[in-house]
Amino acid sequence: MMSQRVVRWYVLLVGAGLLLEGGGLLVAERLGLSPGSLATDTGHNLLHVAWGLALLLTVVLRQTAWAALIFGGFYFTLGVLGVVLTNPFGLQLGPGENAFHFIVGPLALGLGWWAVRSSSANSASTSAAGVGGGASGLPAR
């Protein structure tokens, strides 16, 4: 199904990106390297690593639609909290981080919803066609 493929690729790319970005910044921080204009926020970097690993695991387990919904809801909420609160959960969230959360969160929500809805519609049509053994749903004679 196309929706499943699209959400799988999205989750794979975001998961790999979060893992590489968060992990790279943790290594740079540990080595005492200045990542330029990026503030070092160990908690935020660990959050990216954890989400990256979790998303990559869902690709392997083929559970990307629900993972996208959960991830999208979390990141959208984190974006909202980053705008209305100072340092939610102790994370240093500036305008760049909030913008990122407002982009990847709603996109993940939309793709996850599309994939779950497509999967549910496909399951319902397959179940209806299989009732009674005939393609019309009537008992076979």
Separation between Cα atoms, residue 36 and residue 21, nearest integer Å: 14
The predicted-structure confidence for 22-61, as pLDDT tens digits, reads as follows 999 999 888 888 766 555 789 999 999 999 999 999 999 9
DSSP 8-state secondary structure symbol assigned to residue 137:
S
If DSSP codes are grouped into helix, strand and coil, which group holds residue 135? coil
Separation between Cα atoms, residue 25 and residue 81, nearest integer Å: 23
Separation between Cα atoms, residue 54 and residue 19, nearest integer Å: 10
The predicted-structure confidence for 62-110, as pLDDT tens digits, reads as follows 999 999 999 999 999 999 999 999 999 999 999 999 999 999 999 999 9
